[in-house]
Structure 1
Amino acid sequence: MLPLRNISLFISLLCHASLLSSLFAKELELGYYSDTCPDAESIVREVMRRAMVREPRSVASVMRLQFHDCFVNGCDGSVLMDETETMLGEKEALSNINSLRSFEVIDEIKEALEENCPGVVSCADIIIMASRDAVALSGGPYWNVKLGREDSLYASQDDSNDIMPSPRANATMLIDLFSRFNLTITDLVALSGSHSIGEARCFSIMFRLYNQSGSGRPDPNMDSKFRNKLDSLCPRGGDENVTGGMDSTPVKFDNQYFKDLVQLRGFLNSDQTLFSDNIRTRKLVKKFSTDQEAFFKAFIKGMVKMGDLQSGRKGEIRRNCRVANNQREDDFLIRVF
């Protein structure tokens, strides 16, 4: 029999390994809700379409939830959970607090689904469907998604802080991160193309403009005209909440993102580094900049692989994407006892 210390270590390692294995994970299927909620995908798409009409930027924000959710203990909807008296939510993690938004769109989708088929469609699956629809509605490719995920019973701010990269990340850091989830360099570069749509805050690039790597100077890997444009958008000491497009066509999903990187016009350091700092990622950036179809195919493959990440932990179908079904009861018991 293993000593207690070794058993604890084994359990800890197994929990992390299960994210990359289907040993304990629920089987995902195409058309999973065809009998229990046949209109699920069309409902999600319609709510996303309305959200896009109200605010084009919102669908890009929803799409990014898949990355922020799936990399932290699998695609389990934990990123949607609000902080409680007994749990620090992932929304407040360092990499999320300044970048994630549009949670109200997920709430709207969930409400519509609950009206049609209560207690059937998980919040984790909503993220997967909505992310796909965000791309398609913005002019990008459409693909069939596997569904059947359950929602986490809790969120982990610590895990999010440990895993999610910052806008300062370089190509080597990103390659290492993606490899932890069996995602290739091609997956990394293609999935970074999600920044083809949406905006980011000046907060995320101030160091690039005025103090790259603590040098007191701007990032040298930046086109001078583009640098002047960013200086005007994000002046030193200015409002860091001002936003700018992450490529020059921020409401259209296309390969312009890669063309911009080749021209040294990437908005985020974690984007520009893919062209400027690593020969392996640079080759793929160049390829996708001239072959949009190749980008679309690689992007779909990466999104499907990322969507397969699961923790294997016990879950549920949340009635409200922001809280576990038993959250109120748990909080009450903790306060009483």
Structure 2
Amino acid sequence: MKKIGFLSFGHWSASSQSATRSAADVLLQSIDLAVAAEELGADGAYYRVHHFAQQLASPFPLLAAVGAKTRRIEIGTGVIDMRYENPFYMVEDAGSADLIGGGRLQLGISRGSPEQVIAGWRHFGYAPAEGQSDSDMGRRHAEVFLELLKGDGFAQPSPRPMFPNPPGLLRLEPHSPGLRDRIWWGSASNATAVWAAQMGMNLQSSTLKADESGEPFHVQQARQIRAYREAWTAAGHDRTPRVSVSRSIFALMNDRDRMYFGRGEGSDQIGVIDNMRAVFGRSYANEPDKLIEELRADEAIAEADTLLLTVPNQLGVDYNAHVIESILTHVAPALGWR
């Protein structure tokens, strides 16, 4: 059994071919797709965060709105770039959104992806400490965020407060119990997956990773997941971790599907991203019976407990609901995922 959700990058474009021509279109349709996905029986609505781009950026208003409009589906990110985040303010935002959604937030955070601008985090007021990189800064922000989510008091109360204080040191409010266990780290390498396990975070592994062995993407990703789980056990955490992988998967059910995605077999690609040699996983698009056999051979999907379907959000809510329903109905049961 697997949890199956969608992951939207939230693109918009003024093109006449796009169903999302403005930021308002994307935000409102993101909410509508979450509602539709919940009605179809999907398990998660996840959103990507990119700054300085015509894509979804500030996640917490959207997460709160989705939480208010749905009742069951998990609501998450994949991922928030921690180089840009004030961990203190983020704890308040995350706690509020999680309480609105009734404790359904699944927050994916990470060092982030290649940027639209040079060192964009500097425009947000952040800079690495002396001798550290921007990646070090992202991990430092994450460590502070995780510590604050525990809800322990740390701030000395004023002797003359505006409102009466509870006894002892004060914490940030509102506090959402359990959110600390629902933080995920988006990892591109085996080493950062091990670090995520040591820090007690769930693991998100995307459609690319560092090419560390030259093997097919899904083989390397499966090895990363196993390394993560071994590190989790060694760290002695007292809960079972979760692991998600993301895939572009399309069941070709009609002529429109074939027009959009029926261009033949996909394959892994090799490229350089942030000066790192990376392997990019293939897309899957085929008739349902053939698609089932192809997915059965994907070792990383087999290792994961959660599958996030990347959706072409610019094709609109109805078409993306069709994409999700096709996988849930015609593919997942045959693979034992549902």
Q: Normalized per residue, which structure has more helix?
A: 1
Q: Normalized per residue, which structure has more strand?
A: 2
Q: Specify which structure has the bigger relative contact order, considering alpha-carbon pairs within 8 angstroms and separated by 6 or more residues.
A: 1
Normalising TM by the smaller chain, what interval? under 0.3
TM-score relative to the length of structure 2: 0.25
